DNA sequence: TATTGTTATACTCTATAACTATA
DNA sequence: TATAGTTATAGAGTATAACAATA
């Protein structure tokens, strides 16, 4: 118990914190009739306008799954589909003003909900924790540009 | 961007790491035909034998949801229901030997999958990160004992 | 009466397979 | 032929409501 490997201890902590964070995100999403995935999509679209297939790949979902997901959010006016002029097969996804407003509200609620937890560290430790987390994080896949050659 | 509040930066990092960890857990669970929740239940049952209602509350799920979840895992022989002698209404849930073996394998796969990420920190920093994470973590609800008075 | 758990129902999430349109 | 996306279908996850058994 006291003999735990530093790597094991870190994985335990990361997994526990992941479940805790997901619990908060899931609850807040549900309070706005959103699924966790929809909340995540809104967050992604805040500063990106990907095509369906790239978004699906980024989320690790099948294209067909994303179709339904986008359908439901589009019906609620949170995001929209748009034709891609360069390739008529492609459908781009973008956030609407309503979606952006909701996302800002969700973002605020998440920060408030986590404040009691993050507030248990002082300013310096918070910064230190964020810094130590950085190298562990996978860089977010770049969804935006589209290099003409490889793909 | 450089002017970000330390609390905001920490929340961003925690949320990103949560999605990353959940991605790994979901993939590994799926490779064994398990849902993320089932994987989590197996992990919980490793050292606990809760009643249905407590497990549901701990997971933030409705009792009816848990019934189906336990049904499917029980059909696969990973866990079992048992009558509670003290209260005939109660159903306890426990892991089977097969469930325990699978859980150990899953645990190993998770650690391997995360090794490239955690390995980006040296021994000392790993320990430091785990320590800083500790105060942020909600203590896991005690599922085991059952104080006779309150509850 | 209140609590524990299951069942019936309905909707969302998810993947696979088959399809259409475009490249 | 290959790629992008949708639709049809089916199973799992989820909650609400109604119910049975027990307290």
Distance CA B102, CA B99 (A): 5
Strand D nucleotides where any atom sits below 7 Å of a protein CB: 3-9, 12-18, 21-23
Our CA-based measurement puts residue B88 at a distance from the nearest CA of chain A, in whole angstroms, of: 32
- pLDDT of B63 strictly over 60: yes
pTM of the model: 0.91
Which of A4, A11, A20 has the most B C-beta neighbours within 10 Å, making it the best mutation to test the interface with B?
A11
Sign for the CA dihedral angle at B112, B114, B116, B120 comes to: negative
Query: Lowest mean pLDDT: which of A94-103, A140-149, B76-85?
Result: A140-149
Q: What's chain A's average pLDDT?
A: 92
What does the pLDDT average to over B99-113? 97
Q: Under DSSP, is residue B94 helix (H, G, I), strand (E, B) or coil?
A: strand
- If pLDDT is split at 50, 70 and 90, which confidence band does B138 have? confident
Strand C nucleotides where any atom sits below 7 Å of a protein CB: 3-9, 12-18, 21-23
Q: Do A121 and B132 touch, CB atoms closer than 8 A?
A: yes
Q: Do B118 and A136 touch, CB atoms closer than 8 A?
A: yes
- Please, where are the H alpha helices in B46-122? 52-59, 63-75, 97-118
- pLDDT of A148 strictly over 50: no
| Residue with the larger pLDDT of the pair A97 and B141 | A97
Q: Which of B23, B32, B21 is nearest to B103 (CA)?
A: B32
Q: Where are the domains of chain A?
A: 6-133
Does nucleic acid strand D have an atom less than 7 angstroms from the CB of A31? no
Distance CA A75, CA A83 (A): 17
Cβ-defined contact of B127 to A9 (cutoff 8 Å): yes
User: With pLDDT > 70 as the criterion, what percentage of chain B qualifies?
Assistant: 91
Distance CA A38, CA A129 (A): 28
By C-alpha distance, the chain A residue nearest B19 is A18
Sign for the CA dihedral angle at A104, A106, A48, A136 comes to: positive
A6-133 CATH, one of 1.10.10.10, 3.40.50.2300, 1.50.10.10, 1.20.1600.10: 1.10.10.10
pLDDT digits (tens, 9 = 90+) for A102-135: 999 999 999 999 999 999 999 999 999 999 999 9
- pLDDT of B96 strictly over 90: yes
Q: Under DSSP, is residue A83 helix (H, G, I), strand (E, B) or coil?
A: strand
Q: Do B131 and B123 touch, CB atoms closer than 8 A?
A: no
Phi-psi region of B77 (alpha: psi -120 to 50; beta: other; left: phi over 0): left
Distance CA B47, CA B130 (A): 22
**Residue whose structure tokens are 């002017």:** B3
Cα A148 versus chain centre, distance: 27
Tokens of A5: 């490997």
> Which fold, B8-120?
Arc Repressor Mutant, subunit A (1.10.10)
Per-residue pLDDT, A147? 47
Residue B83 (CA) to nucleotide C1 (C1'), in angstroms, measures 24
Footprint of strand C on the protein (CB under 7 A): A 34-35, 37-38, 60-62, 64-65, 68-69, 72, 87-89; B 51-54, 63-64, 66-68, 70-71, 81, 84, 87, 89-92
Let me know the angle formed at the C-alpha of A49 by A46 and A51, rounded to the nearest 5 degrees.
140
């Amino acid at each position: 118990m006291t003999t735990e490997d530093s790597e094991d201890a870190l994985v335990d902590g990361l997994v526990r914190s992941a479940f805790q964070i997901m619990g908060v995100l899931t609850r807040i999403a549900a309070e706005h009739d959103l699924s966790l995935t929809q909340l995540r999509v809104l967050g992604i679209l805040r500063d990106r306008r990907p095509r369906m297939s790239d978004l699906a790949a980024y989320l690790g979902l099948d294209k067909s799954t994303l179709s339904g997901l986008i359908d439901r959010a589009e019906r609620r006016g949170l995001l929209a589909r748009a034709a891609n002029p360069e390739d008529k097969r492609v459908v781009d996804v973008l956030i609407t003003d309503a979606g952006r407003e909701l996302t800002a509200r969700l973002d605020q609620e998440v920060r408030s909900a986590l404040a009691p937890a993050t507030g248990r560290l002082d300013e310096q430790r918070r910064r230190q924790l964020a810094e130590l987390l950085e190298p562990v994080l996978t860089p977010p896949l770049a969804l935006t540009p589209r290099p003409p050659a490889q793909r």
